[in-house]
Amino acid sequence: MSGNKAVVYQGPGRVEIRDLDYPTYEMKDGPGVNKMNVGRKTPHGAILKTVASNICGSDQHMVRGRTTAPEGLVLGHEITGEVIDVGPDVEYIRVGDVCSVPFNISCGRCRNCKERKTGVCLNVNPDRPGSAYGYVDMGGWVGGQAEYVLVPYADWNLLKFPDRDQAIEKALDLAMLSDIFPTGYHGCVSAGVTTGSTVYIAGAGPVGLAAATSAFLLGAAVVIVGDLNDERLAQARSFGCETINVSQGEPAEQVQQILGRAAPAIGQPLVDSAVDAVGFEARGHGRDSQTEMPATVLNSLMDLTRAGGAIGVPGLYVTGDPGGVDEAAKVGSLSLRLGLGWAKSHSFVTGQCPVMKYNHGLMMAILHDRVQIAKNVNAMAIPLEQAPQGYQEFDQGAARKYVLDPHGYLRGRSN
């Protein structure tokens, strides 16, 4: 077989559909590929025919030119696919299996992988711990917004769905297992969400909506979602969330109106748990809502989370941002009120979600109809050729999760 159409970053604001070589079991040189990975053999890998590959907010950071991603980078780290070939070292995955691909690439052999810290695998990226498909500084593994994709360490990385027909029937929901559902869930688990929790989630994009869905799944009593986008806030309300528009003022004041005065002597609203699903392109609140202020969300979460509470930070923060608002922000250095967090004994968990820690359990919740994640994030399947339009609409604030469907597996399916 030859040929492989894919979505390629062509510079700030531009993505195009390009023809690539069909995947092989050896890493080739190309845009973003670490030179130490060139020639790396992957007999442990499998080649997948893409069932679904989602457009992610993290991809959007690159497409906006807010990272050091090189032109020509093949995008896409949220992948679901059907195995059509396996390398000679693959033992358990078989041709015909339909699988979810964790966005973290991990080896299963290093210390971190053995401790289930697959977001910081030590062996797949010579630049730093941790890797992902189609992402800047992540080793150069080719992205999955394509017709076909290579998955290394297939026996370890792939989550096989137990029934092929059921998997195709529920493919729009299962497509969320590669990243945003586990990521939102991880944010909530990191923030200690449990039965009866009051939870504030900053951001009503797909990860924020996935976090809100996860909070309910974990038993939260009240889930409050804050954003600047009324359409996205309406989507959050559609499945039971309370919402606030942070352009109307500080989140703490609006949360207080929803919860009541939890601590009258202190005069502060006090949620048990908070999740940052925004990341480094955050804007201010109230009068500053049109101004980029990258530390705003983290500081506001410390303000409105109770003493002894926890904050999950699945939102992306980077070490290189050419469009940063100042020299400090360009290297990921933000002005945080760490003293406030220290005084309130907050705990923080940051970094990539270790998808494999959660994806099997969340798969079972989907397959047994305990959750409707595609509906909650308003997932919409589009052909691969419409990816540039999907990126544009998503960048303009569309309250949708765009799912690319290169081979028509999702045709006629809706959330």
In a shared domain, residues 388 and 270: no
Write out pLDDT tens, residues 36-56: 999 999 999 999 999 999 999
Domain that holds residue 280: 182-350
pLDDT confidence bin for 261, thresholds 50/70/90: low
- Token reading at 357: 């820690």
In a shared domain, residues 241 and 286: yes
CATH code at position 318: 3.40.50.720
Which of 329, 350, 371 is a domain's end point? 350
Q: Which amino acid is at 65?
A: G
Domain assignment of residue 411, yes or no: no
Tally of domains in the chain? 2
pLDDT at 263 over 50: no
Write out pLDDT tens, residues 153-169: 999 999 999 999 999 99
pLDDT confidence bin for 303, thresholds 50/70/90: very high
With CA atoms as reference, report the closest residue to 330 among 341, 319, 345, 315.
Answer: 319
Residues pairing with 63 in the sheet: none
Which of 323, 350, 377 is a domain's end point? 350
Domain assignment of residue 410, yes or no: no
pLDDT confidence bin for 269, thresholds 50/70/90: low
Mean pLDDT of the chain: 94
Helices (H), 97-192: 111-114, 154-157, 164-169, 171-174, 180-190
pLDDT of residue 148: 98
In a shared domain, residues 155 and 196: no
Residue-wise over 145-162: b if at least 16 C-beta within 10 A, else e?
Answer: bbbbbbbbbbbbbbbbbe
Instruction: Quote the CA–CA distance of 404 and 147 in Å, as a whole number.
Output: 10
Three-class SS of 370-407: CCCHHHHCCEEEECHHHHHHHHHHHHCCCCCEEEECCC
Which of 350, 365, 385 is a domain's end point? 350
Q: Which amino acid is at 76?
A: G
pLDDT of residue 260: 81
In a shared domain, residues 271 and 381: no
pLDDT confidence bin for 3, thresholds 50/70/90: confident
pLDDT of residue 415: 76
In a shared domain, residues 48 and 166: yes
Domain assignment of residue 412, yes or no: no
CATH code at position 399: 3.90.180.10
Domain assignment of residue 409, yes or no: no
pLDDT confidence bin for 412, thresholds 50/70/90: confident
- Token reading at 244: 């606030």
In a shared domain, residues 119 and 240: no
Write out pLDDT tens, residues 170-223: 999 999 999 999 999 999 999 999 999 999 999 999 999 999 999 999 999 999
pLDDT of residue 262: 47
- Token reading at 132: 């992902």
pLDDT at 383 over 90: yes
In a shared domain, residues 217 and 156: no
Angle at CA 19, nearest 5°, toward 406 and 97?
Answer: 40
Domain assignment of residue 415, yes or no: no
What integer is the mean pLDDT of 367-387?
97
In a shared domain, residues 172 and 199: no
In a shared domain, residues 322 and 380: no
pLDDT at 79 over 80: yes
In a shared domain, residues 259 and 375: no
Write out pLDDT tens, residues 329-359: 999 899 999 999 999 999 999 999 999 999 9
